[in-house]
Amino acid sequence: MADEIDGKKSAATPTTGGGAAGNGSGNGSGNGKNGKGRLNALLDDSKVVRDRAIDELKALKQPEKTEVWKSVLRVKHDETPRSRALGVLSNVFLHLHPAKINRDAVAYNYTWGMGGMTFYVYVTLVFTGTLLMFYYHPSKVVAFRDILYLEHDVPFGKLLRNMHRWGAHLMVIMVELHMFRVFLTGSYKAPRQFNWVVGVLLLVLTLLLSFTGYLLPDDQLGFWAVTVGTNMARATPLLGHDGPFGHQLGMTPFNDVRFGLLGGSIVDSNALLRAYIWHCVAIPILASTFMVVHFWRVRKDGGISGPGAVMLESEIKEPKKV
């Protein structure tokens, strides 16, 4: 009996050893498969990266095929029998208005008419500002005296100045409302993303126009507004001596953006002259140029962006009953 038990134990021993060996070989083969799987995954990822790099190199050789190029400039039409007609219909000078527009895109309850009204206010500001230049000298000695002369002695001078001043405030409000509407309706999305960038630049130029006009009357309000504003400018990243990375780039109070705006370290006659040039010459030219690009892009993108097509009640088909 004891011999039989010992025999069974001794017989069972090799079986256990064989099982351990089997587990070892199984784990080894499993690890080998996992290693091969990871290697294959890495090879697949490298192929994807390589294909993407090849595509990007091809795009660099043909930039007109990229999405950035298409968002900035309109591509030519394909050579088809209708290509000549499409070339005329899509040309701003040959065909001012889009051939087709969304019937809901021109509704005032959708667009608010802010784009057109902003341009109208801008034309009014250019006109009134040109008239104001006849009575103004950008000098610390006579600037405020010219404002008093304009308000009290020039016929309709006070009306002219108030039209220009309140029109400037109204333009800032209208530009912000216009961009608010564009954002709410998703009109900044493709293919209009480039025009959204142009609109942001126009917002910045509008704010700069309003800011530079503050100093021209040379009164206490303008003096302290420009003082506070330029003190904020010296904290501009990279460009201001108090801003992030300004010191590392060698910015000082005598070569940073604040010094460039004021033409010195204090608000004096140089600041008044520079504000006058920026307000009356440089920024209006830039703003007018970007407005032309903005209107051109609206036309090339198919007119004003509107909501999705609305079906009339007569056009709605009832589903068939099963």
Higher local confidence (pLDDT), 256 or 37: 256
- Distances 5 to 2, 10, 12, 13, 146 between C-alpha atoms, Å: 5, 9, 11, 13, 123
Percent of the chain at pLDDT exceeding 70:
80
Model pTM? 0.72
Q: Please report the pLDDT score of residue 10 as a whole number.
A: 47
- Please report the pLDDT score of residue 213 as a whole number: 95
- Cβ-contact 257, 236 below 8 angstroms: yes
Residue 191: cis peptide before it, omega within 30 degrees of 0: yes
For residue 82, the model assigns a pLDDT of 77
Q: Check pLDDT > 60 for residue 17.
A: no
Provide, rounded to the nearest whole percent, the portion of the chain with pLDDT above 90: 52
Q: Tell me the average pLDDT across 267-286.
A: 95
Q: What is the pLDDT of residue 26?
A: 52
58 or 29, higher pLDDT: 58
**pLDDT for residue 16 is more than 50:** no
Per-residue pLDDT, 90: 73
| pLDDT value at residue 103 | 74
pLDDT digits (tens, 9 = 90+) for 280-295: 999 999 999 999 999 9
Q: Rounded to whole angstroms, how far apart are CA atoms 150 and 111?
A: 38
Give yes or no for residue 18 having a pLDDT over 50.
no
pLDDT band for position 210 (50/70/90)? very high
Degrees to nearest 5, angle at CA 80 with 75 and 82: 90
38-44 mean pLDDT: 81
- Bigger pLDDT: 311 vs 36: 36
DSSP H helices, 216-282, are 220-233, 257-262, 269-277
Cβ-based burial of 261 (10 A; exposed 0-12, middle 13-18, buried ≥19): buried
Q: What is the pLDDT of residue 250?
A: 93
User: Residue 309 pLDDT more than 70?
Assistant: no
**What's the pLDDT score for residue 153?**
96
Per-residue pLDDT averaged across 299-315, rounded? 72
Does 150 or 18 have the greater pLDDT score?
150
Residue corresponding to tokens 């009109």 = 187
Per-residue pLDDT, 251: 94
> Considering only 128-137, 292-301, 306-315, which range has the smallest mean pLDDT?
306-315
Residue 73, classed as helix, strand or coil, is coil
Can you give the pLDDT at residue 219? Answer: 93
Q: Which residues contact 52 (CB under 8 A, 6 or more apart)?
A: none
Instruction: Kindly tell me if the per-residue pLDDT of 132 is higher than 60.
Output: yes
Amino acid at 55: D
Ranking 93-102, 108-117, 255-264, 313-322 by mean pLDDT, the lowest is 313-322
User: Mean pLDDT, the chain, as a whole number?
Assistant: 83
Predicted confidence at residue 274, as pLDDT, reads 94
Which residues, 6 or more positions from 104, have their beta carbon under 8 angstroms from its beta carbon? 110, 306, 307, 309, 310
pLDDT of residue 134 exceeding 80: yes
